[in-house]
Amino acid sequence: MSQIIDGKLLSQNLKEEMRDSMPSLKERYGRVPCLAVIIVGDNPASRSYVRGKIKAAAFVGMDSRLVELPETVSERELLEVIDSLNGDCAVDGILVQLPLPAHISEDRIIDAIDIRKDVDGFHPQNVANLWLSRPCTVPCTPKGIMAMIESTGVPIPGKKAVIVGRSNIVGKPVAKLLLDRNATVTIAHSRTADLAQVCREADILVAAVGRAEMISGDMVKAGAIVIDVGINRIALPDGSSRLVGDVDFESASKVAGYITPVPGGVGPMTITMLMANTIECFLRFSGAC
């Protein structure tokens, strides 16, 4: 039976450390870090993520600003809001909750965020810096995944890592971070031939697909570290629903050495890393304002 990598506990410990550091930040810099979160429209999932982010900021004792805009807001108006937050010396991080309505270009919005306040690490310059191994803001989910892998104490160098999924926000950056730690990295995707065999070779298996329980125990190498990024809501016969990951926890946990649960795995770590990134931006750039 595997050991559970408890994302909830890890993130709670990290948030408490951050909370403990706030008084000294306030004393040294005269204020605490501030995260601005922009939400457009009423998407329930987005609203719930945003609530979690604001709650986490309050827990660690940093300031936050919630900017709520209607679904009908124009791209120009949203750009003006970003511009004003870019110029606001009391704001260290700007996060625009995605997805945005179809009439707004996500690329143009991300490009408009001052790279020094890009706490999501999605700005193209941040992405370039990550791939060039220059100082950068590491995207929150990949950063949380690395912290979870590191929490096992298993050395990463020389390990075979397989990442299933090649998105810009999870799969690709995780691959780069594992490469930086000297893992031998394979990125699998929807066209990968014999995915099960590719996965079975992984000492570290990261599933970021968005397909409920598609990675079964027979696709997992004995003793592997399994990180389940997926968040999928499945309907139950009684009409209710529940969240499951991309990994079939029941069968995979019998084979893996370490495994993350869903919920309570990567999700809480993502939010915690957003707090960490806001503090990092505050420390790196607030003096430049």
Per CB under 6 A, residues contacting ligand NDP are 141, 164-167, 169-171, 188-192, 195, 208-211, 229-232, 266-267, 270
Query: Pick the catalytic residue: 15, 117, 118, 120?
Result: 120
Smallest separation, CB 246 to ligand NDP (Å): 6
Q: Tell me, yes or no, if 53 is annotated catalytic.
A: yes
Residue 221 in tokens: 């190498």
Residues 6 or more apart in contact with residue 98 via CB below 8 angstroms: 46, 106
What residue is closest to ligand NDP based on CB?
167
Smallest separation, CB 211 to ligand NDP (Å): 6
* Residue nearer to ligand NDP on the CB measure, 194 or 238: 194
CA angle 66, 72, 74 (to 5 degrees): 85
Residue identified by tokens 């995780």 is 174
Smallest separation, CB 167 to ligand NDP (Å): 3
Query: Pick the catalytic residue: 53, 117, 172, 221?
Result: 53
CA angle 70, 71, 76 (to 5 degrees): 80
Smallest separation, CB 220 to ligand NDP (Å): 15
What is the torsional sign of CA 188, 189, 190, 191? negative
Smallest separation, CB 145 to ligand NDP (Å): 9
- In whole angstroms, what is the distance from residue 281 CA to residue 273 CA? 12
Smallest separation, CB 166 to ligand NDP (Å): 4
Closest CA to 162 of 245, 244, 219, 232: 219
Q: Tell me, yes or no, if 88 is annotated catalytic.
A: no
Query: Pick the catalytic residue: 15, 92, 97, 203?
Result: 97
- For the chain, the residue count is 289
* Residue nearer to ligand NDP on the CB measure, 181 or 211: 211
* Residue nearer to ligand NDP on the CB measure, 159 or 172: 172
* Residue nearer to ligand NDP on the CB measure, 143 or 159: 143
Residue 38 in tokens: 């922009």
Distances (CA, A) of 211 to 1, 198, 224: 24, 17, 21
Distances (CA, A) of 36 to 64, 94, 97, 233: 6, 5, 11, 28
Residues 6 or more apart in contact with residue 71 via CB below 8 angstroms: 40, 41, 42, 101
* Residue nearer to ligand NDP on the CB measure, 266 or 279: 266
* Residue nearer to ligand NDP on the CB measure, 39 or 81: 39
- In whole angstroms, what is the distance from residue 165 CA to residue 52 CA? 25
Q: Tell me, yes or no, if 194 is annotated catalytic.
A: no
Q: Which residues are catalytic?
A: 53, 97, 120
